[in-house]
Chains A and B, each alone.
Chain A
Amino acid sequence: MEAGQVTERAAPAVGEQVAERLRRQPWVGAVGVIALIFIALVIGEGLHDVAQTGVNGLSLGAIYALGAVGLTLVYGILKLVNFAQGDFLTFGAYMAYLVNVTWGMPLVVGVFWAMITTALLGLFFERLLWGPMRAKRAGFLQLILMSIGLAFLLRAIVQWFWSTEIRVLDVNTTSTVDFLGLRVGQTQLIVVIVGVGVLIAVGLMLRWTLLGKQMRALSDDLELAETAGIDTRRVINYTWIFAGALAGLAGVLAAAVTEIYPELGFELLLPIFAAVILGGIGDAFGALAAGMVIGVMTEWSTLVIDASWKTAVGFLVLVIVLIIRPQGIFGRAKAI
């Protein structure tokens, strides 16, 4: 009788080692690509322009990342591709407008009001739609189309009350801070600091607190987590609170650096999806890194092509990532 022969394990060639490393830690490759783009741009356009647009990109990236964390948590835990997430941002922006402009209160109050109301909105639809649909074991297409319906409904409500008129928050858009020879808008700087600060706090919370660990357990296997005695309902509620509050914040920040109109959130949705996928589903730090990368890439693109094309950059990044590495680059690799 013949035993199976074990194939000899030759030491892998250097090329294979690199390939293996890239497979396990693809972000190394991504950082390399970004570094190359950076060098090429610096040579072509000069350091100042690259840094200036890069800073703009960070504020855009912070908004993408905030939206993406909520989306990625819901996607990871509830397996729901929530097309209404963009309109959560819109809702948050209008809530801040209500407080800040209509009622004339400081923007900080508007930020908290937007975060609270959008979180409640998330909870409300969990109770009304998503919980019952999970109980019915609805399929993925059913849920995705329902979330699109919800996106339309939210946009319609906003449009009913505030019309399609373009509005702005009462923020200081003119004063700038000089920093290493760069002129950075004060509002932009605040957006970056608030966005990154909140995201790091959320990331740490997810990694170190019990709630965060439970969320990850649900993300791996919801039913298993339930049988393991985790109060899944509570964790799901918190997931929606986080997703809603972060979306509300992202909406206000977007409104602060740009304008408010009913399509605001829907237009941000695809770059946010890009950040979710690039970051790896369910990974908050991945979403943070990916959101920043997409934001910076988008702004850098204005150095070489007309600014009107820049929205397409996020979509192209999304398409390219989906084609070469759908399981994401900055997060844990998961089988797709």
Chain B
Amino acid sequence: MSIDPGTLAPLAVTFKSLTDVDFWVSVGVLAGIYAIVALGLQLNTGFTGIVNFGMAAFMAIGAYTMAILVIKAGFSFWLSLPLAVGTSMLFGVIVGLPSLRLRADYFAIATIAMAEVIRLFAQNARGLTGGNQGLFCDLDNPSNCFPNAWNDLSDSINNFVSNFWTDPPTLLPLLIVIWIVVGLATLALTYLQRSPWGRVLRAIREDEDAAQALGKNTVAFKLQSLAIAAVLGSIAGFFLALDLRTVHPLDFEPLVTFFAFSVLILGGMGSYRGVAFGAVLFWFVLEGTRFIDLPDPPFTETRIAALRLAITGLLLIGLMAFRPQGLFGKREEMVLGE
């Protein structure tokens, strides 16, 4: 089903990709991964009022810890996952403890700085992280390969699927598992949000002093919120690693966090259901620029990358100017104001 650019009219824009299964699988996988990230942001920013610009660090720590444990230390894939989640949570708490008392704008800057420190660490601690090569399967020693355990599961899912659909896309199992996680996480977070625990978070978002004056240990709640975002971030990091089959510093640039913010804003602040819609819509457009056969010239590869960046930028500007509550957010719960 793949498109061969040579067989298509080179100068005309074609929309053939919309019927291409690979296009939809690629949109679905990325949308699912970003939906998980954006759910964490929704919890932090939408429901707790803490502007977390460091989600990429949680993803990086999750993915790198998993890959290092499997490739360098020979851990089993399944055991590495909880350890990686734990590491990411620990990082969240360590970062949160000193910085959560800062004003919101300072907290945002502090988190993006810490995320960059993590990324630079990944880039420079070559012995541990592979530096700019990233971490991938060692071809000489394929037993220590993080996608191995996943491949087995993936194959058995596709074997099952092939009963109904001959030759399913290789990424279909990943797509299915990712969206099951998105669904479960959305349900769990919605349940939490309706609980007394979620009520305290919303109070903190509205006015932290008021929550303290009513006996709530707001720092503890904010730390919990951050720790849960770390869990979601590291899960998204695992999926990204399985999708790309490597773990690389460039996959955890601040841009990743801001893509997730775009997803969040598109779906709407203060709405967990909106996140999934926002993610699909956002990646439909961005992957569209990759799959739609734009004529070259003027659309060179770097220009298409620029186009994606411009779309994201315009989306953020436009939504903030005209519809800050997003598609599904409630006007009454507008949390973007002071």
Q: Do A and B share a direct contact in the complex (Cβ within 8 angstroms)?
A: yes
Count of B interface residues, CB-CB < 8 Å: 47
Q: Decide: B336 and A146 in contact? CB cutoff 8 A.
A: no
* B113–A273 CB distance below 8 A: yes
Q: Are B106 and A315 touching (Cβ within 8 A)?
A: no
Q: Is the CB of B317 within 8 A of A322?
A: no
Contact yes or no, A152 B104, CB < 8 A: no
Nearest Cβ on chain A to B121's Cβ, whole angstroms: 7
Known interface pairs A152-B313, A312-B120, A315-B114; A326-B336 also in contact (CB < 8 Å)? no
Across the interface, name the chain A residue whose C-beta is closest to B254.
A266
- B102–A326 touching, CB < 8 Å: yes
* A141 touching B110, Cβ below 8 Å: no
Residue of B121, B302, B313, B337 with most partner-chain A CB within 10 A: B313
Indicate whether A139 reaches chain B with its CB closer than 8 angstroms.
yes
B313: which A residues are within 8 A, CB to CB? 148-156
Q: Which B residues touch A316, using CB under 8 A?
A: 117
Contact assessment for A140 and B317 in the assembled complex, using a CB-CB cutoff below 8 Å: no
Q: Which of B117, B265, B303, B315 contacts A315 (CB 8 A)?
A: B117
Known interface pairs A81-B109, A140-B104, A336-B102; A145-B306 also in contact (CB < 8 Å): no
Bound Cα distance from A71 to B116, whole angstroms: 20
Distance in Å: Cβ of B264 to nearest Cβ of chain A: 9
How many of chain A's residues have a CB under 8 angstroms from any CB in B? Answer: 46
Contact of B317 with A144 in the complex, beta carbons under 8 Å: no
User: In the complex, are the beta carbons of B103 and A159 less than 8 A apart?
Assistant: no
Tell whether, in the assembled complex, residue B114 and residue A157 are in contact, meaning their CB atoms are under 8 Å apart: no
Let me know if B300 and A163 touch, CB within 8 A: yes
Is B123 on the interface with A (CB-CB < 8 A)?
yes
Pick the contact of B98: A141, A143, A160, A323 (CB < 8 A).
A323
Q: At the interface with chain B, which of A227-235, A286-294, A303-311?
A: A303-311
Q: How far is A122 from B293 in the complex, measured between Cα atoms in Å?
A: 36
Do B124 and A144 have beta carbons less than 8 Å apart? no
Bound together, the chains give a CA A138 to CA B124 distance in angstroms of: 40
Kindly state the separation between the CA atoms of A306 and B127 in the bound complex, as whole angstroms.
14
- Inside 8 A of B102's CB, which chain A residues have their CB? 322, 326, 336
Question: Chain A binding site: helix, strand, loop or mixed by DSSP?
Answer: helix
Are A308 and B123 CB-contacts (below 8 A) given A163-B300, A315-B114?
A: yes
**Contact between A270 and B320, CB atoms less than 8 A apart:** no
Q: In terms of DSSP, what is the predominant structure of the interface of chain B?
A: helix
- The A213-264 residues at the B interface (CB cut-off 8 A) are none
Q: Is A318 an interface residue (CB 8 A)?
A: yes
If A150-B317, A273-B113 touch, whether A140 touches B124 (CB-CB below 8 Å) is no
Chain A minimum-CB-distance residue to B315: A149
Q: Which residue of A lies closest to B257 (CB)?
A: A148
Q: Which residues of A contact B104 (CB under 8 A)?
A: 140-141
C-alpha spacing A141/B335, complex, angstroms: 9
Which residues of chain A are near B302, meaning CB under 8 Å?
159, 163-164
In angstroms, Cα B110 to Cα A316, docked, is: 10
Residue of A nearest to B312 (CB): A152
Residues of B within 8 A of A133 (CB): 320-321
Q: Is A142 an interface residue (CB 8 A)?
A: yes
Asked if B177 CB lies within 8 Å of chain A CBs, one says: no
Which 4 pairs across A and B sit closest by C-beta, in order of nearness? Answer: A149-B316, A152-B313, A153-B313, A156-B310
Q: Which A residues form the contact surface with B (CB < 8 A)?
A: 81, 129, 132-133, 137-146, 148-157, 159-160, 163-164, 266, 270, 273-274, 277, 306, 308-309, 311-312, 315-316, 318-319, 322-323, 326, 336
- On B, residues with C-beta under 8 Å from A are 45, 51, 98-99, 102-106, 108-110, 112-114, 116-117, 120-121, 123-124, 254, 258, 261, 265, 300, 302-303, 305-310, 312-317, 320-321, 324, 335-338
A-B contacts, 6 of them at CB < 8 A, read A152-B313, A156-B307, A159-B303, A160-B310, A277-B106, A326-B103
